[in-house]
Structure 1
């Protein structure tokens, strides 16, 4: 790492950093090197360096739909949280990868721009939202995404337009090609502020009443199986309240798993497998994880 430190002396680098500090589950082992670039140039330099030196590189967003295993992550973890600028250009909103999706939806509201109301309760970052084509309450990122600035794993800077960002349910070109999001541009509609505000208030109330926000969690654990709802299958399997270690199937919403105290990533992974196996036995439905699982076993 000496080479990159010499070239970019102000680059924020931490060694053996606990990743439990950056995940919503509050679990996960350490990163060998935890790097937080403040500019696109720094981010590009780190990605290029990692490629040239054959150092494993992992991108970490807001950690909201993520489980990092207890053995942590080798090589470099690139955390883009400091690339968080948000600005307006006409009816477009441009946001950095590290900007919180909730904050971008609130910014759009402040500018009387409609289209991101569905995202007002999604806790992830812009980069993570593009990577998995995040969605809620009938809306998806791909519905309003006009363009994105990304890096390839070699450090090449690309600007992709809407037709190059093909997306489907919880999947996108970004994830398919393993690209690194630096910035996203959303095409919205200028309208009256009041209906935007009313819709966001309605969705916020629905989220707070149904989701277990009082505990650390990784969000919705499973994708929606064709013809079913994962939460309903888990509930009908009698698994609400099922607990392994400190990880529990939420009593409030069966589609969530919460850290009720002292959970490890291993607790989460064992509970996920138990739920998948039980639902398969009872309903012959294969649950597929929506949450991303990375890192090494302890």
Structure 2
């Protein structure tokens, strides 16, 4: 792995670090080291990175702003690619926008609202990247990415770039084709928005942001919703009704504000969070015979 990291440094693909703690790159502030951590400075350098990974035949994983992730205390084997500066361009063409996978979703929602474009109001408080949002079909307030995506440019493991249409992305609740069938990195997304009233759009975004502020613990390290909603039930409601709010294991604690959030109350390990997740699963099944499934992605060495 040292040889691979050295090769990437020689190619000057961007920032390259060995044994970089992923706690520095996740919103939960948890995670062991990546064998090789790369933040490519351009799409071309990302392609070079993928070519080297393919040559060395090592595992890889892409991340954005680190939300919706629980990384093992033992870290991640292989290469972790972080999309950020260099893959965060934005172009507006009437009601259609083309945006890089590394662009902040919150910043994007704010930016286009000022242009009087409607369609991303639901994303005003989602603390991820555009690439991550497309990857997992992020959503809130009755809408999601699948409602506005026209197509996405994907970089696949073999280094090939391909545009996938909305239909080809095979979106469903908090998932897409990229999670299971065709692993790839979202390089760009084209969203089809609509002209709207700037004041109404801003008011809707403010309402959504305020709702999140008073109902969700974003002032503490957390990963967002831990469990998928077992419809027609809601994860947070079941956890609250079971009296589990505030329950903690080690440094991991179920938020007092929202039952479907686990916060790092100080020095939490991934092991603490995993134990707390299992505790919730057991209690909810015992009380309601409902099987809880995680929405947060759990990755890294076992």
| CA–CA separation in structure 2 for the residues paired with 1:179 and 1:49 | 16
Give 1:252 shift.
Answer: 0.7
Structure 1 spans left out of the alignment, 5+ residues: none
Aligned with residue 178 of structure 1, among 183, 195, 199: 183
* Alignment match, 1:294: 299
TM-score, with normalisation over the residues of structure 2? Answer: 0.95
SS, match of residue 216 in structure 1: coil
| CA–CA separation in structure 2 for the residues paired with 1:120 and 1:143 | 15
Contact conserved, 2:13 with 2:40, CA < 8 A, in 1?
no
Contact conserved, 2:13 with 2:48, CA < 8 A, in 1?
no
Alignment pair present for 1:240 and 2:245: yes
Aligned with residue 120 of structure 2, among 116, 121, 125: 116
Alignment pair present for 1:227 and 2:232: yes
Aligned with residue 42 of structure 1, among 42, 45, 49: 45
Aligned with residue 3 of structure 1, among 3, 7, 10: 7
Give 1:116 shift.
Answer: 0.3
* Alignment match, 1:272: 277
Deviation string 1:29-63 (CA, Å, 9 cap, x unpaired) is 00111000011111111112212211111111111
| CA–CA separation in structure 2 for the residues paired with 1:173 and 1:75 | 23
* Alignment match, 2:166: 162
Give 1:173 shift.
Answer: 2.1
* Alignment match, 1:62: 65
Give 1:168 shift.
Answer: 1.0
Structure 2 spans left out of the alignment, 5+ residues: none
Aligned with residue 79 of structure 2, among 72, 76, 79: 76
* Alignment match, 2:100: 96
| CA–CA separation in structure 1 for the residues paired with 2:245 and 2:14 | 45
* Alignment match, 1:127: 131
Contact conserved, 1:248 with 1:258, CA < 8 A, in 2?
yes
| CA–CA separation in structure 2 for the residues paired with 1:183 and 1:141 | 13
Give 1:147 shift.
Answer: 1.0
Give 1:165 shift.
Answer: 2.1
Give 1:10 shift.
Answer: 5.0
* Alignment match, 1:52: 55
Give 1:162 shift.
Answer: 2.5
| CA–CA separation in structure 2 for the residues paired with 1:73 and 1:108 | 36
| CA–CA separation in structure 1 for the residues paired with 2:89 and 2:55 | 29
Alignment pair present for 1:33 and 2:36: yes
SS, match of residue 253 in structure 1: coil
RMSD, aligned α-carbons: 1.1
| CA–CA separation in structure 2 for the residues paired with 1:93 and 1:109 | 12
| CA–CA separation in structure 1 for the residues paired with 2:169 and 2:194 | 20
Give 1:163 shift.
Answer: 2.7
Give 1:120 shift.
Answer: 0.5
TM-score, with normalisation over the residues of structure 1? Answer: 0.97
Give the number of aligned pairs. 296
